[in-house]
Amino acid sequence: MKRRNADKTSADDRRQQVRSRYGGIASGGQCCSTGGASSSCCGKGTRESSCAQTSVATQLGYSAKDLATIPEGANLGLGCGNPTAILALGPRQVVVDLGSGAGIDCFLAAKKVGAKGHVIGVDMTPEMVGKARENARQGHYSNVEFRLGEIEHLPVADNSVDVVISNCVVNLVPDKGQVYREAFRVLRPGGRLAVADVLATRPISQEMRNDPERWTSCSSGALTVEEVTDRLRSAGFESIEVSALGSDSSVESLRAQDEIGVVPGEVRATKPRGHDR
């Protein structure tokens, strides 16, 4: 019982560390990279110019054309890829973004699903949700909404979503398996998962995993391709594809991950048809 309580406290502490860091980023009160573990999910931070944030975003797979269409303030220079480019989104689809931040991927998805589609962003940080909602208001997005909640316990109905996306957030969660189980629950049969995240290419020491700076900067919470595949399979997914893309040490925001063998990756999976739970 003591060990179970200790594990729960550790998970709660980790969650609060992540919430505190990204709340500060959303409010503009701190740089995204506050220490030595600069990261792909932390770009160059909100104190840098919008040009710097655009540069980081284009390095991570966003086109300048797409970035020009979203509300100012939606791009915080975060992420480790572009989940809306991992698979094709279509008209009328319902999309959920896990850890939606200021809304960049939600707004890009909204344009692809159209006025009769719907996009739901879920984030556990009140400041991020508030910022995203303001961005949606300023951009006049009627098919996007943002909900406060943990991605391990999604405020979304069963079998109600066509696509679940996420960008460099699953690694921040203590129980990745629970995230994938929740994604499976909310997806309709035949629904798809598309995640940009970081992946470990070699073992990460417990000391590094316990380091709040490394964990919250999307470094030490990474799992291997095999570990992610196992968790997806255990959640019930099929057609699983987990790909480590490698790193580019010339990209400043990826250097900290490269030092410990963590690289950007892409995750694709499908909920089997005929499976309604």
Average of per-residue pLDDT across 212-224:
92
The alpha carbons of the chain give a radius of gyration, in whole angstroms, of 17
The residue type of 65 is K
| Exposed / middle / buried, residue 231 (Cβ in 10 Å: 0-12, 13-18, 19+) | buried
CATH superfamily of 2-270: Vaccinia Virus protein VP39 (3.40.50.150)
Q: What is the pTM of this model?
A: 0.88
**What is the distance between the terminal CA atoms of the chain, rounded to a whole angstrom?**
31
Contact 59, 126 (CB under 8 A): no
Q: Distance of alpha carbon 30 from its chain centroid, rounded?
A: 20
Name which of 44-48, 181-185, 226-230 the model is least confident about. Answer: 44-48
pLDDT in tens, 141-191: 999 999 999 999 999 999 999 999 999 999 999 999 999 999 999 999 999
pLDDT in tens, 4-43: 444 454 888 888 999 899 999 888 844 454 444 444 565 4
